[in-house]
């Protein structure tokens, strides 16, 4: 169905693998369009977690496709940037959590894709960077926005201004990734994390994600009030009623998302 995506399903979890081996999974307009199309399918299926990874052992996503960008003018460049930024924002705001399993190069658009995910883990051979200034451009898929929020303004400026790539251990040190694993174990660990998430009450997980994303930039009083409302709405769900009943009676309850 998709030319550059491989889709797997594991119960309540979906794995989307970006596959363009000749370009080390670099993102072009076609691949961005396919990701956007799959997100429609993913949301309609009501999965509880999405894992995004890259095909092969060398690259998650090596960047945006330079061969497509090389001849663009200002307006076309802005349009291309908006396309990537819109797809990544959609990933960031999916109701359920998204895990990036970064299995190699995550440069430029690849780093930006990883940053749009909720949780980032990587293999020990992973490399991260925003090398765009070495090509006469800046990060165009929201990299200047997300990197500073994730690692702090000073480190983000150094990485973006220098175009320097960093290894997995450095990405872990600065908080860009949550954990580093051997290449062969990466996807298994991603699935384990996804299962931990999927076994919890899905409406509560979604409410928690919405609160974290929405409240991050809010003044404290507004953020606390937003969380209070979301907390209260959880008590309208069957999962809350049955989950607490099971806890009190030492029984078991499988959350249904109701």
DSSP the chain: --SSEEEEEETTEEEEEE--GGGTT-B-HHHHHHHHHHHHHHHHHT-SEEEEEESSSSEEE--B-HHHHTT--HHHHHHHHHHHHHHHHHHHT-SS-EEEEE-SEEETHHHHHHHHSSEEEEETT-EEE--GGGGT----SSHHHHHHHHH-HHHHHHHHHHT-EEEHHHHHHTTS-SEEE-GGGHHHHHHHHHHHHHTS-HHHHHHHHHHHHHHTTS-HHHHHHHHHHHHHHHTTSHHHHHHHHHHHTT--------
Asked if 221 is an active-site residue, the reply is no
Asked if 132 is an active-site residue, the reply is yes
Among 37, 41, 68, 112, the active-site one is 112
Among 9, 41, 132, 185, the active-site one is 132
Catalytic residues: 112, 132
């Amino acid at each position: 169905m998709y030319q550059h995506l491989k889709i797997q399903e594991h119960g309540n979890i979906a794995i989307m693998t970006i596959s363009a081996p000749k370009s080390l999974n670099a993102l072009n307009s076609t691949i961005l369009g396919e990701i956007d199309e799959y997100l429609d399918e993913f949301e309609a299926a009501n999965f509880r977690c999405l894992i995004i990874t890259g095909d092969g052992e060398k690259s998650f996503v090596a960047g945006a496709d330079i061969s497509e960008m090389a001849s663009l003018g200002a307006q076309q460049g802005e349009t291309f940037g908006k396309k990537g930024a819109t797809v990544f924002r959609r990933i960031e705001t999916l109701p359920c959590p998204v895990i990036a399993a970064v299995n190699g190069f995550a440069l430029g658009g690849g780093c930006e894709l990883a940053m749009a995910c909720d949780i980032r883990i990587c293999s020990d051979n992973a490399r991260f960077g925003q090398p765009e200034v070495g090509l006469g451009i800046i990060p165009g898929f929201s990299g200047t926005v997300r990197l500073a929020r994730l690692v702090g303004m000073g480190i983000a400026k150094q990485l973006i201004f220098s175009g320097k790539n960093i290894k997995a251990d450095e990405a872990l040190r600065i908080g860009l990734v949550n954990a580093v694993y051997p290449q062969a174990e990466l996807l298994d660990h991603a699935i384990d994390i996804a299962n931990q998430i999927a076994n919890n009450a899905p409406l509560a997980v979604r409410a928690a994600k919405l609160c974290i994303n929405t409240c991050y930039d809010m003044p404290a009083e507004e953020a606390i009030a937003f969380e209070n409302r979301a907390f209260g709405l959880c008590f309208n769900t069957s999962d809350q009623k049955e989950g607490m009943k099971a806890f009190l009676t030492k029984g078991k309850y499988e959350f249904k998302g109701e």
